[in-house]
Amino acid sequence: MTFTVTYAERLGGGPTRLRLSGELDMSTAGELNAVIDRLADAGERRLLVDLTDLTFCDSTGISVFVRGDNRAAAHGGWLRVTGATGRVERVLKVTGLAEVLGYCADAVDPATTDRPGMG
């Protein structure tokens, strides 16, 4: 399955929303890193990543999320994830990344606080 990253410009001061689809692994992680870097270089500090259509995520993909959050946090921002299901959700929970990134499984917008876990 082809991996894609799409994103929309933020409106009204909200976070930049990225939507991932396909499989995030060693062969596709560079694409997501490049998008995150491009957005960070453009001054984006809050990224909300929708995983609804992501069907697979390995340790390389997990490291992209951590790297993105660390880069954003260094400039006062954050990276959060939402919408994961099945194996992807299980990986987020087993690794503890769900808590670190303020994971929200449902359609509720996790971008309503300044940092994950604070509301």
- How does pLDDT run across 49-88, given as a tens digit for each residue? 999 999 999 999 999 999 999 999 999 999 999 999 999 9
What pLDDT was estimated at residue 102? 85
What pLDDT was estimated at residue 12? 72
What CATH number is associated with residue 88? 3.30.750.24
What pLDDT was estimated at residue 116? 43
pLDDT bucket at 8, cuts 50 / 70 / 90: confident
**Looking at the domain assignment, is residue 119 inside a domain?**
no
Residue 49 structural domain: 4-8+24-112
State which H helix or E strand residue 5 sits in: strand 4-8
- The pLDDT tens digits for 18-27 are 999 999 999 9
**Looking at the domain assignment, is residue 74 inside a domain?**
yes
Q: What is the pTM of this model?
A: 0.85
Check residue 110 and report its DSSP letter. Answer: G
Alpha-carbon distance 41 to 57, whole Å? Answer: 25
Which residue, among 79, 98, 105, has the nearest Cα to 7 in the 3D structure? Answer: 79
